[in-house]
Amino acid sequence: MRIGGVFSVYNGDNPIFLRQALDSILTDQTRLLDECVGVIEGEIGNELTQVCDVFPQVKWLKMNQSNVFGLPKALNIAVDKINTDIVLKIDTDDLYPRERVEFTESAFQNDQSLDLHGGQAQEFSQDFTKNFGLRSVPLKKREILRFSKSRNPFNGPSVAFKKSAFVKFGGFPQVEANEDYCLWGHFLVNDLNVSNSSEVYVYMRGGNDLVSRRSSRRYRKGELQALKYLRHIGLFTYSQFMRHVIAKQIVRRLPVKWNSYIYSKLRREKGQETPDNLQIILQKDRNEN
């Protein structure tokens, strides 16, 4: 079984976060990826370029900058060019536990009918000094389908999927937000085999910065596109779709402080702290600063 990873880099990425993310998923794993493809969206500047140069094990591709649908387009290009059976979706500002790839390999080996698999996410502040709690998702297929009617049932940066299934559904749809939720929707409405692990697969940077991005006009527009897409493929009934639209369009317009409070109530469990090996990765930059 060959396992690969895909991600994109654009000019808005943080060079330090990018290096830390790639360090954790490419060099600090108990089971290394067989292949990794990174797509560079347009011009990215010297600092990001220098980070990319540190990781020659990545197959780097360049595409012209696209202000509309840049991320799903870049990820689709990456998956198209990768030569592996299983594909991990890598986020360029999160950190991954040392067993991330090993956990994924075990899941697909233990159930060879599995098409899509994810895990739990632990959320922290941007500098990983504050623990915001666990983004908990259901484990079994039936519970995942039920959960999907109200919220995304997978933590995007934790997910891996069979490339063959991805290709069958045409990849990430061209929406401006929540393209992963839309893709997972295809797996669910077509009754493919999906699961989540109880293990934490990703340590995410969250907090007010994340809430602010989700309160923007562009995000609201993209989220509405995604909701319409999920309704179109049959994941939502009309009443479920309307509940999503009304609730989310209202919530996204609330002050960031109120949104942060609502968001915190969805992360009640503190879960675990970042393990020692990831603290070492973080400490490198703290020492330099």
Task: Show Cβ contacts of residue 232 under 8 Å, excluding neighbours closer than 6 positions.
Answer: none
Q: What is the pLDDT at residue 175?
A: 93
Q: What pLDDT, on the 0 to 100 scale, is given for residue 64?
A: 81
Any idea where the domains of the chain sit in the sequence? 3-288
Find out if CATH 3.90.550.10 is the number for domain 3-288.
yes
- The pLDDT assigned to 118 comes to 98
Phi/psi for 226 (5° steps) reads: -65, -40
Predicted model pTM: 0.89
Distance CA 100, CA 88 (A): 10
Task: Decide: 229 and 169 in contact? Cβ < 8 Å.
Answer: no
18 touches 9 (CB < 8 A): yes
Q: Compute how many other C-beta atoms are within 10 angstroms of the C-beta atom of residue 165.
A: 19
- CB neighbour list of residue 88: distance below 8 Å, 6 or more residues apart: 3, 4, 5, 6, 25, 33, 100, 101, 104, 159, 160
* Cα 133 from Cα 262, distance rounded (Å): 13
Q: What is the 3-state secondary structure (H, E, C) of the chain?
A: CCEEEEEEECCCCCHHHHHHHHHHHHHCCCCCCCEEEEEEECCCHHHHHHHHHCCCCCEEEEECCCCCCHHHHHHHHHHHHCCCCEEEECCCCCECCCCHHHHHHHHHHHCCCCCEEEEEEEEECCCCCCEEEEECCCCCHHHHHHHHCCCCCCCHHHCEEEHHHHHHCCCCCCCCCCHHHHHHHHHHHCCCCEEEEEEEEEEEECCHHHHHHCCCHHHHHHHHHHHHHHHHHCCCCHHHHHHHHHHHHHHCCCCHHHHHHHHHHCCCCCCCCCCHHHHHHHHHHHHHC
Identify the pLDDT of residue 31: 97
Locate 71 and state its tokens.
């991320």
Amino acid at 267: R
Rounded distance, CA 16 to CA 19, Å? 5
Which residue positions in the chain have pLDDT lower than 70? 65-69, 207-215, 253-277, 284-289
